[in-house]
Chains A and B, each alone.
Chain A
Amino acid sequence: MPQQASVHHPLSSTVDFVIVGSGAAGGILAKELSTAGYSVVVLERGPRLTPEQFEHDEFKYFFQNYIGAKTPVTWRETPSQVAKLKKDAVWGAHIVGGSSVHFTANFWRFRPVDFNERSRLGAIPGASLADWPITYDELEPYYTKVDWEIGVSGQAGGWGEPRRSRPYPVPPLPVKSSGVLFERATKKLGWHPFPAPMAILSRPLNGRMACQNCGFCQGYGCEFGAKSSTLAAMIPLAERTGKCEVRANSYVRKVEVNAAGRTTGVIYFDANGREQFQRAKAVVLSCNGAETSRLLLMSKSNAFPQGLANSSGIVGQHLMFNAGAIVPGFYEHPLNEYKGAQVTRIALDWYDSDPKRGFYGGGGLDARADITLPIFFALNGAPPGMRNWGAEHKRFLEHGFTRQMTVMAHTTSLPVAANSVSLDPTLKDDHGLPAMRITYRDHEDDLKMSRYLHARAVEVHHAAGAQQVAPLPVEVQGTAVHLLGTCRMGNDPKTSVVDRFHRTHDVRNLFICDGSSLVTSGRGQPTMTIMALAFRAGEKLAEFAKRGEI
């Protein structure tokens, strides 16, 4: 899709909406609000890259973290500990299109049970499990919008699939050896595998080209535009309206509020590090499930001493990563998993929480090329117990690189109040702003569920005829990929931050839509739901603007 010359909104003007963040949610909101006729400025902290800059360069993108998140992170397990600096602890992307540029593109819809588990199961000790203020049925039309407008490959009728109003727009991606082995094994074990829904185009759609099976998805941008990032699918449409300006290299440090308790815009550092003020009638935060909370906490004022929109005191709390397990295995013949998209087959037989298991939780398995790019495999591929250098290791690399696949488990994280994003009391970033402090320890049930599916993943490899299975142990998580739940939506201003339409309970013209809005974690693949929420929020915000309710 050709890029259009974008409108420039001068700083002296007051736009209808300023959107902070251009990722999975921000990119969609930009498109929805600008096509509805509203003036929009999107402030994106990272640079704008063109498709030809998305090189197949493992060192640059994966090891030098070229498009990676730049906020320094300190980490601790419990609130009584002092958090310590942890490098590469959060795997996000600071770039126009956000983490939707580098995601793996697993696009599972949440299921009805994800929205009302609290009512169905009752309280879980040690967690603040809650129902969503909306249902699956309310979100379904927007999941369908994601399928068709963002572009999802798949095949309707997968096991336990909830109601869908339209089939997928394009068929599943070509099955890989991992998918063939996984399908064979899970069927043998009595389970129900099906083609993975992936936000990567198997056929041309909406003027975008189909996947070329290059294999550089997980952690990389797609130079073909076949991966359905908002950079590929939404931002060009937003700019084509002549209403939307995407301002890259713009790092927002504060949301401003006037004496009447309304937001007036945001203060940000521009590409030259100079402070600027963007005025807007309404502010939308879509910075991701950790940075949105950080920005609210940095935006405290006399009127909002605990941080903006935080009268509940829960901004930053209930952080959820999704748990899981990683089980690599090695086979007799080459699979060449480095070719093609990461995942082609999944099974969700364990989706619902089952009291018979004795703990809360649900999840699914996929077969994927998880560690099949050369540097990562050479550094981390050795099975536990094998020396990771020398002649024997070299023989292992020569034989194992093409013969490996991973069965990965994806599971629930319970919302736990102590698991949180807060401001580090001492460490600052290079703009003098507080570092992000993460406090996180998986709920015991999350670890039990991970171990349960870890065992199933081992069974899959054995049933598939693996010559060697090399499971990684299930441990308390020490890095984050999914960032969910820290400004959760709800009807009660005491226990939630935004209402069912993403309006903050405390500030009438401040809206939040991103991973922070999620009330539960789903079973491991949240971006589809973040995008569906963004389409819904875009529609509602446009209605509010039309009625003068912003």
Chain B
Amino acid sequence: MWLISDWSSVREALAHAAVAAQQRPAPPFSTLSVVEAAELGAMAERIMPTTETPGAREAGVIYFMDRALGSFQKEALPDVRKGVADLKVRAVRRKAGSSGLAGLPPADQDALLTEIEKTEFFEGVRYLTMVGMFAKPSYGGNRGEVGWKLLGFEHRPAYTPPFGYYDAEAAKGR
């Protein structure tokens, strides 16, 4: 069980969350607290980072997670909350006074996540990140189909051959 007992740390977390929120439109979350959203969002953004191509941030993965954890993945919420609390403990160990993962520089974030990458919590967040990135946009993530575009997945209702390079080549040779 994760309880907010120390207002000053929350204030700091909120500040970090506000910074993170500047980079995206920020409608209110319906299930996650601002702090939880900042932490899970930071995780998602390291799992599928924004590089020269869009990542979890642009896909709106955190909004998918908010929706998932309030509905069809509801049973995972208590464990996710425990995991977020643990993230903070580990972040403080890494940098005294840290508010959590979201407040660390990316290299430290990656190091911390490498520490926990075999945990069920990490695997659960990785799962939600990939689903939020690549499921139908109607689930709240994969905004503008950025996930599908990243992969080269056309998602059309039907296709006609040739489908790929090698069958096209074979058809030409015939």
Taking beta carbons and an 8 Å cutoff, which residues of A are in contact with B?
56-59, 63-64, 174-177, 179-181, 212-215, 331, 333-340, 373-375, 377-379, 387-391, 394-395, 397-398, 401-402
Contact = CB atoms under 8 A, between A and B. Distances in A.
A123 B34 CA distance: 67
Interface centre among B147, B152, B157, B158 (most CB of A within 10 A): B152
Contact of A64 (B55, B72, B166): B72
Contacts of A56: 155, 157
Interface of B: 46-49, 51, 53, 55, 72, 110, 113, 117, 126-127, 129-131, 133-136, 139, 147-148, 150-155, 157-161, 163-167, 169-170
Contacts of B48: 389, 394
18 contacts: A56-B155, A59-B131, A59-B139, A177-B163, A177-B166, A180-B166, A180-B169, A213-B159, A334-B165, A339-B164, A340-B161, A373-B153, A377-B151, A390-B49, A391-B51, A397-B151, A401-B153, A402-B152
Contacts, number: 122
A63 B110 CA distance: 27
A214 B157 contact: yes
A335 B166 contact: yes
Chain A contact residues, majority secondary structure: loop
B148 A374 contact: yes
A56 B148 CA distance: 13
Contacts of A397: 150-151
Nearest to A215: B159
B130 A176 contact: no
Given A374-B134, A402-B151, A390 B46 contact: yes
Interface centre among B49, B134, B159, B164 (most CB of A within 10 A): B164
A336 B156 CA distance: 13
Contacts of B46: 389-390
Nearest to A175: B167
Given A215-B159, A339-B159, A390-B46, 20 more contacts: A57-B136, A59-B139, A176-B167, A177-B163, A177-B165, A177-B166, A179-B167, A180-B167, A180-B169, A213-B159, A333-B164, A333-B165, A336-B152, A338-B153, A339-B163, A374-B151, A374-B153, A390-B49, A398-B151, A401-B152
B170 A180 contact: yes
Contacts of B51: 391, 394-395
A58 B136 CA distance: 8
B15 to A, nearest CB: 26
B133 A378 contact: yes
